[in-house]
């Protein structure tokens, strides 16, 4: 039996889809659906149970531990908003909750894969090399990044990195992010306007060494991300901190061109000022160093942005049911 926290969310529901494709139906989803549209992410998926996070956490914290037949815990549930300003909320959700689940998994030798983030690298001054050597020196640009970094520091300090895998996701995009609002990828947020004949708007650069739209990101398709996680479940010896990105850097202008090409339109790109509150917290460049992932034995390919955008548009965004379960 597999436990997927955040299993109705973006990467979590894609992971349940991947498990189903690999013949796994005995899955506990730990998530909170509330009144939004997130439930649509799981309507075509197969799983045993869905449990609210508070109930699951209370059972773990009171000594109940994990279910006795749990084979793996894939902890993807967290507050993923990089603009969240409630530091106590982020610490409770992204650090303390993750730490408690990790302790419960390690106590029973349950395979643990944990979601960290490339936000821990801050402005990239120290590069994007994973591992534990630079943990004390990293300085995230926002509280979200710090909450994720604190878990990695805790795991390193207690020797847990040799028994779990903490994945630093870069810019993940793809089906089942529709409920995320402003935290969804720019492809997702811009598709309807572009498909209807409108322009696509990008942030201007506010640094003289970078032209508008030339800020760079490592964009990684969610289907490639869950392939990595499945491989990690099959290869429990691959532990520690690992970057999960394409290993390539592409600009926001290239992303816009990829979306226009996917919908069959000539580009119409506009630029708008970046909000003042983001300018000091904005990453102008990210690129995953995936050397340790490759050294661990992972040989899977990562789609270039143009290819991922084509698949996302043709097989999902342009379909009546855009969710990942239509991708048989």
Within a domain: 270: no
178 classed as catalytic: no
CATH number at residue 20: 3.40.50.720
Q: Which of 89, 180, 271, 284 is catalytic?
A: 180
Give CB contacts under 8 A, 24+ apart, made by 89-94. Answer: 90/143, 90/144, 90/146, 90/147, 91/147, 91/150, 93/147, 94/144, 94/147, 94/148, 94/150, 94/151
Distance CA 3, CA 108 (A): 14
Find the range with the poorest average confidence among 110-114, 141-145, 234-238, 302-306.
Answer: 141-145
Q: pLDDT digits over 113-159, tens only?
A: 999 999 999 989 999 999 888 899 999 999 999 999 999 999 999 99
The residue annotated as part of the active site, out of 2, 97, 144, 191, is: 144
Structural domain contains residue 36: yes
Task: Please say if 191 is a catalytic residue.
Answer: no
pTM: 0.95
- Domain extent for 133: 2-172+220-247+283-303
Residue 328 pLDDT exceeds 70: no
Look at residue 183 and tell me if it is in a domain.
no
Residue 215 falls inside a structural domain: no
State phi, psi for 200 to the nearest 5 degrees: -115, 130
């Amino acid at each position: 039996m597999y436990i997927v926290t955040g299993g109705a969310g973006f990467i979590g529901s894609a992971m349940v889809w991947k498990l189903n494709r690999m013949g796994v139906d005995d899955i506990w989803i730990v998530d909170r659906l509330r009144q939004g549209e997130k439930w649509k992410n799981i309507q075509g998926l197969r799983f045993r149970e869905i449990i609210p996070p508070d109930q699951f956490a209370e059972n773990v914290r009171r000594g109940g531990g994990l279910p006795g037949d749990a084979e793996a815990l894939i902890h993807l549930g967290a507050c993923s908003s990089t603009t969240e300003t409630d530091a106590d909320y982020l610490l409770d959700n992204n650090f303390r909750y993750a730490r408690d689940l990790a302790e419960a998994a390690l106590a029973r030798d349950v395979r643990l894969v944990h979601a960290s983030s490339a936000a821990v690298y801050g402005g990239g001054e120290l590069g994007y090399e994973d591992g534990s050597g630079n943990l004390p020196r990293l300085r995230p640009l926002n509280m979200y990044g710090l909450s994720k970094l604190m878990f990695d520091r805790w795991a390193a300090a207690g020797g847990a990195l040799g028994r779990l895998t903490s994945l630093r996701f870069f810019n993940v995009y793809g089906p089942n992010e529709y409920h995320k609002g402003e935290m969804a990828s720019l492809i997702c947020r811009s598709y309807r306007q572009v498909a209807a004949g409108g322009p696509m708007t990008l942030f201007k650069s506010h640094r003289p060494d970078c032209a508008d739209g030339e800020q760079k990101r490592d964009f990684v398709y969610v289907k490639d991300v869950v392939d990595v996680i499945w491989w990690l479940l099959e290869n429990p010896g691959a532990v520690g901190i690992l970057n999960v990105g394409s290993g390539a850097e592409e600009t926001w202008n290239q992303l816009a061109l990829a979306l226009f090409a996917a919908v069959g339109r000539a580009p119409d790109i506009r630029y708008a000022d970046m909000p003042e509150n983001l300018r000091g917290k904005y990453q102008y460049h990210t690129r995953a160093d995936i050397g340790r992932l490759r050294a661990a034995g992972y040989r899977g390919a990562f789609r270039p942005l143009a290819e991922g955008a084509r698949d996302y548009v043709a097989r999902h965004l342009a379909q009546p049911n855009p969710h990942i379960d239509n991708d048989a």
